[in-house]
Structure 1
Amino acid sequence: MNHAREVKILVTDDEPVIRMGLSKLIEQSGVLNCEIRHAGDGEEALRLMKNWTPDLLFTDIRMPVMDGLELCRRLSERQSGTQIVVVSGYSDFEYARACVDYGVKRYLLKPVNRKELGELLEKLKTGIRADHSSSSAALLSIKELDAWAKRLELAVWELREGDVEAILEEWENHYPGYALTLQAAKELFHALGTTICGKLEARGAGLSELQPDYGYCETTEQSGKVFADGVRRLLHELRQKRLGSRKLLVEEAKAYIERHLDRDVSLEEVAERLGLNASYFSQLFKLKTEETFVQYRIRRKMELAKRLLEKPHYRITDISYEVGYADHPHFTKTFKKVVGCTPSEYRQKLGIE
């Protein structure tokens, strides 16, 4: 340690107490022989870095004058080589994800845990020595976490139980490499659960919150199992909700088709809107209506066309556009196939010239 070069560290936070506290924790860890400087916001940090390039930057996200997101963006443009650690509460997890494009690959949850910080510094130290092959995989990656949460949420939304289990197993095998403390693991799982529930709620899932009790967990492995069980409960709850409302789902699909008869709404589009697998939705629709999705859509278009043809002031070419057919001959052919006569013949039968 005595022969290690001095590592330059910049701590950026608008709260002086937090800056000093984090700096003290870094020094007391004894991991790095370091020179630590402070900045109260992103703008001050950039001024310091004009003539002094830190090896490590610890930055808060929410700061006045220039926030952490803008600071990270500016540094990414400079390609300074400074390793960046975002320090934030789990409530800022969604915001922290925006830093991914600017080279931020790791973050610490507030309040910073002494042991967790020491372990992170050990890994960062290896990175500073340019041995990225042994350190990068073990650091907490915001981009990785975000991608994983998105995949898991989509699998739950589409009721792909096999994929949900595969994604949970992938995490179970992977996250021990982060070497998180028990408290950090609990906070991380809480953040991931909040993110996944937020995404499901935005889709209108209407499920209960994923807030398992991590209090009794004595290991990070136990925390992971509690989280996984919570995700399985969400999947079960969503499946039961949909099974109890199959008729409502089909009625909602019909209403959506009705609102968009002026274009060819696809089965995949409606299935995604309902949060269903396209193949499952296709079978459900046929079961409830005794028609395929396409047959139903075409029939409703032609029924609207008939109503419009009964109004003399509508031109047939305009009607074809009203029901989503830019190709007039195609409209005529489809109408005849469904109704048994052409649009002109239909009008003649009604005595409309």
Structure 2
Amino acid sequence: MFTILIADDEPMIRKGLQKLIQQSGQPVASLRTAENGADALQQIREERPDFLFTDIRMPKMDGLELCRQVAELELDIHVVVVSGYNDFEYAQKCLSYGVKEYLLKPISKKTVDAVMVKLAIMHAKRQPQTFVSVQRLETWVANAEEAIWSLKHDALQELLNQARSEINGYRMRLHQLSELLGEISELLNRRLNIRDIFSFTKRLELQDVTNEEEAWSRFEASLQLLFQELKQRRKGKLKDPVEEAKHYIEDHLAEEVSLEEVAERIGLNASYFSQLFKQATKETFVQYRTRRRIEKAKKLLAQPHYRITDISGEVGYADHPHFTKTFKKYTGVLPSEYRSQLGIE
């Protein structure tokens, strides 16, 4: 099953090519589209496709620059350049970036079918290394253990960057990457527990990740959490960062507290904290905060002496109309209607 990305700034071209690829008879697992090269590059970094179809002339980042950057990433993507006759010479410059197939506009079903067959054959001949040797795995785990146990944050971050760069070169599917990162996490916890000083029990959950970026973010967040947990244990101040964040949010529901502010308070990088919080609560920071605000508002609405306009301020909404709109979105009724349902006039 192939994963494909189409980059073209013309909606009709994107939709037409998308339809022709789907009708090509080749097995397609996913087919995404991008409006320009910059959008395409971002999507490639989040989840690497098998095949990339790109137009030459696009705003923000043209096809030539996209091909150049894809080549620099060394992601082993089969690239097909889509160009008009006037752009053909320009498109040939992509040869130096590993492009081997072209589609000339206007695109026909016959040419798309032929290109898809060629791509399928090239894909089948490719023999990527999709496994990591036991020795390499043990080296990563040992280095990570040393960095965490010695509380060397810079060394841990450097190791994460190196491991990510190296593993990306193995051309793994998402499930293979998830299994590998899960295995590294499990081995690391085991090695830290062998020291028999502190117990580390939290498991890395990757079953529900939807792309490579999310898998890496969760993995990195788990290592950062191990680092912070060990640091806090040695200070005799072990706290669950998510629970600590929840308490802080609860105490400041009337204020516009940001994710960055909470992350700084508990001593975690904002991006790591964001992933950790979502993993633990199954909600984003904003979703959790909004839900808790609405739940508090419902409790206050049950008390007749509170005016609805005062309640909106109590739960962090200076703009009363915004509060009523959000309340209805979450409960299906306006605050006044909710209060009426309770028999309070």
TM over 0.5: no
| Band the TM-score falls in, shorter-chain normalisation | 0.3 to 0.5
- Structure 1-normalised TM-score? 0.35
